[in-house]
């Protein structure tokens, strides 16, 4: 599928401190983005231990949570993002099978 628009993936990764799981999640995410969305993504890492008030806005329950706000629709991917297939589907990079 050709890219019709120059979409920028705005990604937010919510973590709580530098736990092994959040570090793994961030590493996984960066890897996938580099592979599939080179130069078309922004990753914002939000540490809820520092900004707890931000949890409410995006309805964060699980940690780590990756929120894709743009492009629509909003999707949340929770977990350490170890399953590449699921993450790519979740980010609408690859259509669901």
Partner 1 sequence: MSLEPSESRKQPITLPKSGTGIRGLDEITAGGLPAGRPTLICGAAGSGKTLFSMEFLVHGATQFNEPGVFMAFEEKAEELAVNVASLGFDLNELQREGKIRIDHVHVERSEIEETGEYNLDGLFIRLAYAIDSIGAKRVVLDTIESLFAGLTNQAVLRSELRRLFEWLKEKGVTTIITGEKGEASLTRQGLEEYVSDCVILLDHRVENKISTRILRIVKYRGSIHGTNEYPFLIDEEGISVLPVTSLQLNHSVSSERMSSGIPALDKMLGGEGFFRASSILVSGTAGTGKTSIAGSFVDKTCSDGKRAIYFAFEESPRQIVRNMQSINIDLQSHIDAGLLQFSAARPTLNGLEMHLLNIVKLVEKFNPSVVVLDPISNLITVGSNSEVKSVLTRLIDFLQGLGITVMFTALTLNDNRTEQTDDGVSSLVDVWILVRDIESNGERNRGLYVMKSRGMKHSNQVREFVITDQGLKLVEVFLGPEGVLTGSARETQQLLEKTSEALRDHAVSRKDREIERKRFVLESKIASLKEEFESLQEELNKSYIEDELKKSIMDDNRRELTRKRDDLL
Minimum distance between the CB of residue 46 and partner 1, rounded to whole angstroms? 10
Q: Does 21 bind partner 1 (CB under 8 A)?
A: yes
Q: Which of 11, 13, 26, 77 binds partner 1 (CB under 8 A)?
A: 77
Residue 6 contacts residue 63 (beta carbons within 8 Å) = no
Q: How far apart are CA 53 and CA 68, in angstroms?
A: 19
Residue 37 contacts residue 9 (beta carbons within 8 Å) = yes
Q: Which of 53, 72, 95, 97 binds partner 1 (CB under 8 A)?
A: 53
Q: How far apart are CA 1 and CA 10, in angstroms?
A: 20
Query: Could you list the residues that contact partner 1 (CB under 8 A)?
Result: 14, 16, 21, 25, 48-49, 52-53, 55-56, 59-65, 73-83, 86-87, 89-90
């Amino acid at each position: 599928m050709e890219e019709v628009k120059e979409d920028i993936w705005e990604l937010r990764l919510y973590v709580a401190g530098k736990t092994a799981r959040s570090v793994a999640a961030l590493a996984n995410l960066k890897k996938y983005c580099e592979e599939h969305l080179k130069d078309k993504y922004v990753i914002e890492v939000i540490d809820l231990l520092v900004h707890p008030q931000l949890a409410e806005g995006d309805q964060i329950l699980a940690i780590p949570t990756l929120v894709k706000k743009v492009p629509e629709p909003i999707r949340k991917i929770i977990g350490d993002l170890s399953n590449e297939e699921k993450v790519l589907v979740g980010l609408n990079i690859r259509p669901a099978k």
